[in-house]
């Protein structure tokens, strides 16, 4: 049984009454329904988005501990996950898992399992990598805010160049100086990368708003835009 792991940035849930609704409908039509039609299974990991950052920022002003800030971020991501799980009912498990072991059990019972953060101190990226490892998936799709991995921050540098493929080592070098503060994770964090690297889990980075590219990867095709990070530079796109 093939289990697909998809991580979706929490920013998809930032406009809860507008863009979010349309995007989730598009994901259901082009991604989730196709997974069901093919008889596959999927674990979807959702980030906390701006709501996590709001609560974390308020917590910082109130002197909440770092552990407490992580818990706030996890709860925000779980709220987003609950919305998606309910939207995909009855195909999706109504329970948002609180552990990796729960995910392993529930994916045997439901075609789709949706979760948010699980472990304080780890991003939802790390959770997605752990889940991919736990369910035996050799690929992780990360739908993020940008079109893939760039040689520099595209929001700050107009000349930033999209990198179509990287080895784990090359990608790790790009992440060296990224912040790891709660709610401020950049494109991907080091813990998540180490987990993927140790189990040779290839990572596709695409824009979360480019649903067609996500669908293309699921079908074994090359996305319109994106970056493949794997153990071999020469791996076919």
In a domain, 237, yes or no: no
Q: Using one digit for the tens of pLDDT, what is the confidence trace for 174-218?
A: 887 544 444 443 678 889 999 999 999 999 999 999 999 999 999
| pLDDT for the residue numbered 177 | 53
State the residue for tokens 């948010």. Answer: 116
Q: Is a pLDDT exceeding 50 seen at residue 18? A: yes
Is position 11 within any domain?
yes
Q: pTM of this prediction?
A: 0.92
Q: State pLDDT tens for residues 49-81.
A: 999 999 999 999 999 999 999 999 999 999 999
Query: Across all residues in the chain, what is the average pLDDT?
Result: 91
Domain-located, residue 39:
yes
Residue numbers of the domain that contains 146? 3-230
Express each pLDDT in 147-156 by its tens digit. 999 887 787 7
What size, in residues, is the chain?
Answer: 237
Number of domains in the chain: 1
Residue 193 covered by a domain = yes
Q: What is the CATH number of the domain that holds 59?
A: 3.40.1160.10
Strand 162-163 to 165-167 pairing: unpaired
**pLDDT value at position 189?**
86
Question: Does residue 236 lie in a domain region?
Answer: no
Task: Give the HSE-up count for residue 24: Cα atoms under 13 Å, Cβ half-sphere.
Answer: 23
DSSP conformation letters of 76-117: HHHHHHHHHHHHTTTTB-SS--SSHHHHHHHTTT-SEEEE--
Domain-embedded: residue 235: no
**Res. 157 pLDDT band, cuts 50 70 90:** confident
């Amino acid at each position: 049984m093939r289990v697909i792991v998809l991580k979706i940035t929490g920013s998809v849930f930032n406009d809860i009454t507008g863009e979010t609704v349309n995007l989730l409908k598009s994901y259901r039509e082009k991604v989730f329904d196709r997974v069901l039609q093919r008889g596959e299974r999927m674990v979807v990991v959702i980030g906390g988005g701006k709501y996590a950052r709001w609560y974390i920022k308020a917590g910082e002003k109130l002197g909440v501990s770092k552990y407490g800030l992580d818990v706030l971020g996890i709860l925000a991501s779980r709220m987003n996950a609950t919305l998606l799980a309910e939207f995909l009912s009855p195909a999706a498990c109504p329970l948002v898992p609180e552990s990796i072991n729960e995910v392993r059990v529930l994916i045997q019972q439901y075609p789709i399992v949706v979760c948010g953060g699980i472990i304080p101190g780890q991003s939802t990226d790390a959770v997605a990598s752990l889940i991919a490892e736990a369910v035996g998936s050799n690929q992780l799709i990360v739908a993020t805010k940008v079109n893939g991995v760039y040689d520099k921050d595209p929001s700050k540098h107009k000349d930033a160049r999209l990198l179509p493929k990287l080895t784990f080592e090359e990608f790790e070098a790009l992440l060296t100086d990224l912040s790891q503060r709660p709610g401020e994770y950049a494109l991907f964090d080091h813990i998540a990368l180490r987990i993927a690297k140790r189990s040779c889990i290839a990572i596709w980075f695409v824009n979360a708003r480019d649903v067609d590219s996500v669908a293309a990867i699921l079908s074994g095709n090359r996305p319109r835009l994106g970056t493949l990070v794997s153990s071999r530079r020469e791996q076919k796109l």
